[in-house]
Amino acid sequence: MSGRVQLSRRRFLQVLAGTAGALVVGIGHADAEVPIPPAMLGDDFGQLGAYVRIDREGNVLIGARDPDTGTGTATSLPRIIAEELDADWTRVTVMPLGLGVEAKDGKPVWIYGHQRSGTGDSIPAAWADLRQAGALARWLITQAAARRLGFAADRLRCESGVVVTPDGRRFPYGSLVEAASKIDPPAAPLPLKPPQRYTLIGHPAGDVDARHIVTGRTRYAIDTHYADALVAVLAQCPWPDGSLASIETAPALAIKGVVKVMPINPEADVPPGQTAIAPAVAVLAENTWAALRGLAELKLEWKPGAHSADEDSAKLEARAIALLDTDSAPTTRVRDEGDLAAAGRKAARRVEATYVQPWLAHATPEPMNCLVRLDKDQASLVVPTQAPQQAWAVVQRLTGLAADRIAIEVPRVGGGYGRRLDHDYVAEAVMLAKAVDKPVRLMWTREQGLAHDYYRSGTVHKIKAIIGRKRQVIAWDQRLASASALSGRGTAADRLWTSEISAEQLPAGLVPNYRSDWYSLASAMPRGPFRGEPHVTNAFAVESFIDEIAHTLREDPLVTRLRLLGEARQIPLGGRRMLDVGRLLNVLKLVTDRVEWKNWLHNVNGMGVACWHIDGAYVAHAIEAAVHGEKLEIVRVVCAVDVGRVINPLGLQGQVAGATLDALSNALNPAITYKNGQVRQQSLQDYPLASMAQLPNDVEVITVPNDRAPTGASFLAMPTAAPALANAVFRASAVRVRRLPLMKELLRLL
Amino acid sequence: MPQAQAQGLPAATTGDITPEPVREGIDLIVNGERFKHTGDPLMPLLWYLRDVLRLTGTKVGDAQGKDGYDLVLVNGKAVPAITWPMAKLVDARVTTVEGLARADGGLHPLQQAFIDEDAIGCGYCTAGWLIAGIDLLTRKPKASDEDIDKLPNRCRCGCQTRVRRAIKRAAGAQA
Is A39 a residue whose pLDDT tops 60?
A: no
| Cβ count near A190 (within 10 Å) | 18
List, as ranges, residues 359-378 from A with C-beta within 8 Å of B: 363-367
Residues A433 and A475 in one domain: no
Question: Which of A214, A234, A266 marks a domain boundary?
Answer: A214
Residues A517 and A600 in one domain: yes
Contact between B28 and B90 (Cβ < 8 Å) = yes
Q: Which residue of B has its CA nearest to A653?
A: B118
Q: Which of A598-607, B29-38, B80-89 has the lowest mean pLDDT?
A: A598-607
Tens of pLDDT, residue by residue over A589-632, are 999 999 999 888 777 899 999 999 999 999 999 999 999 999 99
Give pLDDT, residue B104.
Answer: 92
Task: Please report whether residue A81 resides in a domain.
Answer: yes
Is A505 a residue whose pLDDT tops 80?
A: yes
Q: Round to whole Å and give the CA distance between A244 and A237.
A: 7
Q: Kindly determine whether residue A654 and residue B154, on different chains, have CB atoms separated by under 8 Å.
A: no
Give pLDDT, residue A565.
Answer: 98
Q: Round to whole Å and give the CA distance between A84 and A72.
A: 19
Task: Please report whether residue B21 resides in a domain.
Answer: no
Q: Round to whole Å and give the CA distance between A729 and A723.
A: 10
Residues A392 and A527 in one domain: no
Q: Round to whole Å and give the CA distance between A20 and A36.
A: 18
Q: Which residues of B touch A68 (CB under 8 A)?
A: 122
Say which residues have a Cβ less than 8 Å from residue A427's Cβ, sequence separation at least 6: A267, A274, A275, A276, A394, A398
Contact between A735 and A749 (Cβ < 8 Å) = yes
Tens of pLDDT, residue by residue over A699-736, are 999 999 989 999 989 999 999 999 999 999 999 999 99
Q: Which residues of A touch B127 (CB under 8 A)?
A: 216
Q: What would the mean pLDDT of B64-71 be, rounded to a whole number?
A: 96
Cis amide linkage into residue A507, ω under 30° from 0: yes
User: pLDDT confidence of A46, banded at 50, 70, 90?
Assistant: very low
User: pLDDT confidence of A44, banded at 50, 70, 90?
Assistant: very low
Contact between A284 and A440 (Cβ < 8 Å) = yes
% pLDDT > 70, chain A: 94
Q: What would the mean pLDDT of A36-61 be, rounded to a whole number?
A: 58
| Cβ count near A733 (within 10 Å) | 17
Give pLDDT, residue A576.
Answer: 86
Contact between A497 and A518 (Cβ < 8 Å) = yes
Contact between A402 and A107 (Cβ < 8 Å) = no
Give pLDDT, residue A685.
Answer: 94
Is B82 a residue whose pLDDT tops 60?
A: yes
Q: Kindly determine whether residue A216 and residue B54, on different chains, have CB atoms separated by under 8 Å.
A: no
> Residue A321 maps to which CATH number?
3.30.365.10
Q: What would the mean pLDDT of B123-140 be, rounded to a whole number?
A: 98
**Strand, coil or helix: A609:** strand
Nearest by CB: A697 against B101, B107, B164: B164
Q: Round to whole Å and give the CA distance between A426 and A276.
A: 9
Residues A196 and A238 in one domain: no
Give pLDDT, residue A9.
Answer: 59
Q: Which amino acid is at B65?
A: G
Task: Please report whether residue B61 resides in a domain.
Answer: yes
List, as ranges, residues 33-92 from B with C-beta within 8 Å of A: 40, 43-44, 47, 50-52, 54-64, 66-67, 69
Mark out the alpha helices in chain B (DSSP H runs).
Answer: 3-6, 45-47, 109-116, 126-139, 145-149, 160-174
Task: Please report whether residue B11 resides in a domain.
Answer: no
How many domains does chain A fold into?
3
Task: Please report whether residue A448 resides in a domain.
Answer: no
Is A415 a residue whose pLDDT tops 50?
A: yes
Residue A596 belongs to domain spanning:
313-360+455-749
User: pLDDT confidence of A4, banded at 50, 70, 90?
Assistant: low
Q: Kindly determine whether residue A367 and residue B60, on different chains, have CB atoms separated by under 8 Å.
A: yes
List C-alpha distances in Å: A324 to A393, A510, A518, A723, B158: 39, 24, 10, 22, 35
Contact between A718 and A535 (Cβ < 8 Å) = yes
Q: Which amino acid is at A648?
A: N
Which phi-psi region, left, alpha or beta, contains residue A742 (left: φ > 0; alpha: ψ -120 to 50)? Answer: alpha
Q: Which residue of A has its CA nearest to B144?
A: A697
Q: Round to whole Å and give the CA distance between A533 and A139.
A: 42
Residues A354 and A292 in one domain: no
Give pLDDT, residue A1.
Answer: 39
Q: Is A603 on the interface with B (CB under 8 A)?
A: no
Task: Please report whether residue A235 resides in a domain.
Answer: yes
Q: Kindly determine whether residue A207 and residue B118, on different chains, have CB atoms separated by under 8 Å.
A: yes
Q: Which residues of B touch A419 (CB under 8 A)?
A: none
How confident is the prediction for chain A on average, in pLDDT?
Answer: 93
Task: Please report whether residue A449 resides in a domain.
Answer: no
Is A36 a residue whose pLDDT tops 50?
A: no
How confident is the prediction for chain B on average, in pLDDT?
Answer: 90
Q: Kindly determine whether residue A223 and residue B56, on different chains, have CB atoms separated by under 8 Å.
A: yes
Tens of pLDDT, residue by residue over A78-115, are 999 999 999 999 999 998 889 999 888 889 988 888 89
Q: What would the mean pLDDT of A421-431 be, rounded to a whole number?
A: 98
Residues A225 and A167 in one domain: no
Beta strand A473-482 with A513-520 is parallel
Q: Round to whole Å and give the CA distance between A198 and B98.
A: 37
User: pLDDT confidence of B2, banded at 50, 70, 90?
Assistant: very low
> Residue A3's closest CA among A136, A112, A176, A192?
A136
Is A49 a residue whose pLDDT tops 50?
A: no
CA angle A488, A262, A368 (to 5 degrees): 55
Q: Is the dihedral of CA B65, B71, B77, B81 positive or negative?
A: negative
Task: Please report whether residue A450 resides in a domain.
Answer: no
Say which residues have a Cβ less than 8 Å from residue A605's Cβ, sequence separation at least 6: A624, A625, A626, A635, A728, A732
Say which residues have a Cβ less than 8 Å from residue A730's Cβ, sequence separation at least 6: A547, A551, A606, A608, A736, A737
Nearest by CB: A215 against B50, B97, B162: B97
Tens of pLDDT, residue by residue over A507-524, are 999 999 999 999 999 999
B3-9: Cβ within 8 A, 24+ apart: none
User: pLDDT confidence of A17, banded at 50, 70, 90?
Assistant: low
Give pLDDT, residue A105.
Answer: 87
> Residue B160 maps to which CATH number?
3.10.20.30
Q: Round to whole Å and give the CA distance between A435 and A443.
A: 17
Tens of pLDDT, residue by residue over A312-371, are 999 999 999 999 999 899 999 999 999 999 999 999 999 999 999 999 999 999 999 999
Residues A419 and A552 in one domain: no
Is A29 a residue whose pLDDT tops 70?
A: no
User: pLDDT confidence of A194, banded at 50, 70, 90?
Assistant: very high
Q: Round to whole Å and give the CA distance between B125 and A214.
A: 10
How many domains does chain B fold into?
1
Q: Kindly determine whether residue A683 and residue B63, on different chains, have CB atoms separated by under 8 Å.
A: yes
> Residue A706's closest CA among A658, A651, A647?
A647
Is B36 a residue whose pLDDT tops 80?
A: yes
- The complex's ipTM works out to 0.94
Residues A180 and A261 in one domain: no
Nearest by CB: B148 against A209, A231, A692: A692
**Strand, coil or helix: A620:** strand
| Cβ count near A40 (within 10 Å) | 14
**Strand, coil or helix: A336:** strand
Task: Please report whether residue A469 resides in a domain.
Answer: yes
Residues A355 and A374 in one domain: no
Tens of pLDDT, residue by residue over A448-504, are 999 999 999 999 999 999 999 999 999 999 999 999 999 999 999 999 999 999 999
Give pLDDT, residue A3.
Answer: 61
Is A263 a residue whose pLDDT tops 80?
A: yes
Alpha carbon of B93: minimum distance to chain A alpha carbons (Å)? 18
Question: What stretch of H or E contains A573?
Answer: strand A570-574
Residues A558 and A703 in one domain: yes
Q: What would the mean pLDDT of A378-399 be, rounded to a whole number?
A: 97
Q: Where are the beta strands (DSSP E) in A308-458?
A: 332-337, 349-357, 369-375, 378-382, 406-409, 440-443
Tens of pLDDT, residue by residue over A401-410, are 999 999 999 9
Give pLDDT, residue A31.
Answer: 44
List C-alpha distances in Å: A519 to A320, A481, A500, A505, A516: 8, 5, 10, 17, 10
Give pLDDT, residue A373.
Answer: 97
Residues A63 and A149 in one domain: yes
Give pLDDT, residue B12.
Answer: 45
Residue B92 belongs to domain spanning:
26-169
Task: Please report whether residue B54 resides in a domain.
Answer: yes
Q: Round to whole Å and give the CA distance between A695 and B158.
A: 10
Task: Please report whether residue B139 resides in a domain.
Answer: yes
Q: Round to whole Å and give the CA distance between A265 and B126.
A: 36
Q: Round to whole Å and give the CA distance between A395 and A115.
A: 17
Could you report how far apart the first and last alpha carbons of chain A are, in Å?
Answer: 76
User: pLDDT confidence of A33, banded at 50, 70, 90?
Assistant: very low
Task: Please report whether residue A483 resides in a domain.
Answer: yes
Residues A82 and A162 in one domain: yes
